[in-house]
């Protein structure tokens, strides 16, 4: 539950966005509650990237309303969103591969000691502590971040956002380029962020990654919301069907389930 009883931390109502004559989003509703994971699912071209940019403050919506804890906002830049605790971790990750983990953790927000010098000892210690709090066992924070696995780099980015005051965490396809084991690692840290009270918006095209960690699901197709569900309202299989093709695919699945050998379906020419 959010700080204000009964109010989601982030709420988009009837949000639309066009680029010239191209309609990228049309009347999309989304709620992200503190201590919950809201999964946004859709294939390529569904509108996920546009939605991320609106939530992150990179683009401004053309219609509808955007509220943070019940107060309507109109961000002019990602900094405006960050100032209200909305952090976005993009798929490509803004890291410098040859710099150590601790330096990437504090990149752009370095701690300073006497005479304006960087307080390296404090930054190393804080990086280790924050990673440990997220369940990441990485004692050597002097390693170049580029030597970490994709899943470990995602976890560093999540821990960094939490440390710097994120209340809502938007994750852009964090498991897209990962193998099964590393994807599982990232999903575990998504759950850790939820348990620390963040409102997590998990953008993905993979319902098998979304369903185990999600509390709410928003399914996009060509810029429209074709489904909004709580976890107790939909099964993993139903979620997959809706995302893959919606009602038409579900109709086909029912037809195949009812198929009996010896019917006209045995001969494709009679279908």
What average pLDDT does the chain have?
87
109-115, long-range: CB within 8 Å, 24+ apart, which pairs? Answer: 109/164
Asked if pLDDT for residue 207 goes beyond 50, the answer is yes
Q: Classify 71 in phi/psi space as left (phi over 0), alpha (psi -120 to 50) or beta.
A: beta
All structural domains of the chain, each given as residue ranges with its CATH number in brackets, are 10-234 (3.40.50.300)
What integer pLDDT is reported at residue 258 of this predicted model? 67
CA distance 103 to 96: 9
CA distance 238 to 226: 13
SS3 category, 71: strand
Q: Which of 233-253 are b and which e, b meaning 16 or more Cβ less than 10 Å from the residue's Cβ?
A: ebeeebbbbbbebeeeeeeee
Which has the closest alpha carbon to 230: 37, 66, 15, 35?
37
Instruction: Report the sign of the C-alpha dihedral through residues 222, 224, 228, 234, in that order.
Output: negative
The pTM assigned to this predicted structure is 0.84
Q: pLDDT per residue over 127-147, tens digit each?
A: 999 998 887 888 899 999 999
Q: pLDDT per residue over 138-194, tens digit each?
A: 889 999 999 998 888 888 999 999 899 899 999 999 888 788 888 898 999 899 999
What integer pLDDT is reported at residue 168 of this predicted model? 96
What integer pLDDT is reported at residue 6 of this predicted model? 84
Which has the closest alpha carbon to 40: 192, 196, 229?
229
Burial class of residue 263 in the structure, from the number of CB atoms within 10 Å of its CB (0-12 exposed, 13-18 middle, 19+ buried):
exposed
CA distance 35 to 166: 13
């Amino acid at each position: 539950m959010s700080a204000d009883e009964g109010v989601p931390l982030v709420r988009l109502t009837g949000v639309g966005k066009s680029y010239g004559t191209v309609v990228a989003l049309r009347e999309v509703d989304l709620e992200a509650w503190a201590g919950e994971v809201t999964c946004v699912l859709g294939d390529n071209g569904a509108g996920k990237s546009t939605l991320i940019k609106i939530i992150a403050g990179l683009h401004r919506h053309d219609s509808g309303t955007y509220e943070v804890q019940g107060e309507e906002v109109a961000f002019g830049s990602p900094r405006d969103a960050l100032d209200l605790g909305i952090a976005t971790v993009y798929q490509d990750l803004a890291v410098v591969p040859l710099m150590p983990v601790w330096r990437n953790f504090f990149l752009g927000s370095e701690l300073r000691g006497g005479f304006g010098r960087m307080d390296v000892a404090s930054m190393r210690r804080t990086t280790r502590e924050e990673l440990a709090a997220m369940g990441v066992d990485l004692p050597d924070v002097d390693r170049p971040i580029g030597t970490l696995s994709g899943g470990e780099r995602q976890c560093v980015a999540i821990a960094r956002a939490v440390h710097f005051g994120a209340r809502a965490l938007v994750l852009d396809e964090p498991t897209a380029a990962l193998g099964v084991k590393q994807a599982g690692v990232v999903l575990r840290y998504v759950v850790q962020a939820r348990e620390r009270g963040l409102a997590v918006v998990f953008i993905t095209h993979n319902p098998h990654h979304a369903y185990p960690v999600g509390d709410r699901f928003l399914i996009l197709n060509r810029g429209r919301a074709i489904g909004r569900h709580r976890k107790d309202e939909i099964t993993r299989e139903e979620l997959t069907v809706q995302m893959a093709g919606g009602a038409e695919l579900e109709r086909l699945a029912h037809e195949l389930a009812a198929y009996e050998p010896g019917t006209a379906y045995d001969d494709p020419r009679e279908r």
